[in-house]
Structure 1
Amino acid sequence: MLRNRVLKESAGKAYLFEAPIEEKQDIHLVVRQGDEVVGTLLLHPVSNAFVQVKQVAIEPQTQGKSLGKNLMIYAEEIAERLGFSTIFLTGRKQAWGFYEKLAYQELPYEYQEDQLILKIFKKEIRQPLSRITTKEMKTNGRQ
């Protein structure tokens, strides 16, 4: 299983042999090449506005071919269509540059969990209604 090889093993965590029950309501996205899964990502709804990206894994032999970038862009499109305004994620140190290139903003602190150095990133994917000005409401968005 891709998640075990790419994520669990490198973090020194126990392997998964079936999908965790807490992921039942998550949106599971995969990238396939033929019959093989070479990329995976979960969208975990946290509230009506926020969704968390979790378990991003790309097969090491396919990295550098924009699969991860395209998977993240697709996840953002899905999240926006579902009505979420903000995506956030916890990124491993080796992936920080990847998320920054995708316009994710880092929160100003990092932390360590087991062997991993992590940082939280977020991205506004849709303008929340609270940011619409009175002028925009009166003019229906026209200037």
Structure 2
Amino acid sequence: MTAVWRKSPQDFGDALNIRETVFVKEQGFANEFDETDKTCDHLILYDGEKAVGCARIFPDGEAGWHIGRVAVLPEYRGKGLGARLLCEAEKRVLELGGKMLCLSAQMQAEGFYKKLGYRTVSEPYLDEHCPHVRMEKIL
């Protein structure tokens, strides 16, 4: 697997395709794409030429960063790629001078993030139709 960072809209179409598959078609989210896509850093995992996972990061406060839109194609799940995305993002945030990474986790994924050292810092809330919690990790 190869991890690649992309910044310009012409270069992160593979990430948008993964998110369309996972969040729109599979999970039914309607508001998947936003203006933040144009300004954040996009991480894409490739298996050869095929894009199989993605995430995006952007500044969130003085020393903090936000990671979101973490997605792995269904046929590639259970292979540690979600953890790899988080690890790559954490390294990138540290390189950029960040000290904390936060995220909005679907409740069904809360345990996954806890195993990677994230802690829950909010009560559950709805994002569209899906319960989420805010989580953080000091890097």
Query: Shorter-chain TM-score category?
Result: 0.7 to 0.9
- Of all paired residues, the percent bearing the same amino acid is 27
Cα offset, 1:15, TM superposition: 6.4
More off after superposition, 43-52 vs 93-102: 43-52
Q: Does 1:46 align with 2:60?
A: yes
The alpha-carbon distance between structure 1 residues 81 and 11, as it changes in their structure 2 partners (threshold 3 A), is same
**What is the letter of the counterpart of residue 30 of structure 2?**
K
* Deviation sequence 1:15-56 (CA, Å, 0-9, x none): 65xxx4432221110101122110000011123301000110
**What is the letter of the counterpart of residue 40 of structure 1?**
C
Cα RMSD after superposing both structures: 1.5
Residue in 1 that maps onto 2:36: 22
Cα offset, 1:8, TM superposition: 2.4
Q: Does 1:65 align with 2:86?
A: no
Q: Runs in 1 of length 4+ with deviation above 3 angstroms?
A: none
Which ranges in structure 1 are unaligned for 5 or more consecutive residues? 126-143
CA contact (8 A) 2:54 2:69 kept: yes
CA distance in 2, matches of 1:37, 1:118: 26
TM-score, length basis structure 2: 0.81
**What is the letter of the counterpart of residue 121 of structure 1?**
M
Cα offset, 1:12, TM superposition: 3.2
Q: Does 1:118 align with 2:135?
A: no
Cα offset, 1:97, TM superposition: 0.8
Count of matched residue positions in the alignment of Structure 1 and Structure 2: 122
Which ranges in structure 2 are unaligned for 5 or more consecutive residues? 1-16
TM-score, length basis structure 1: 0.79
CA distance in 2, matches of 1:33, 1:100: 26
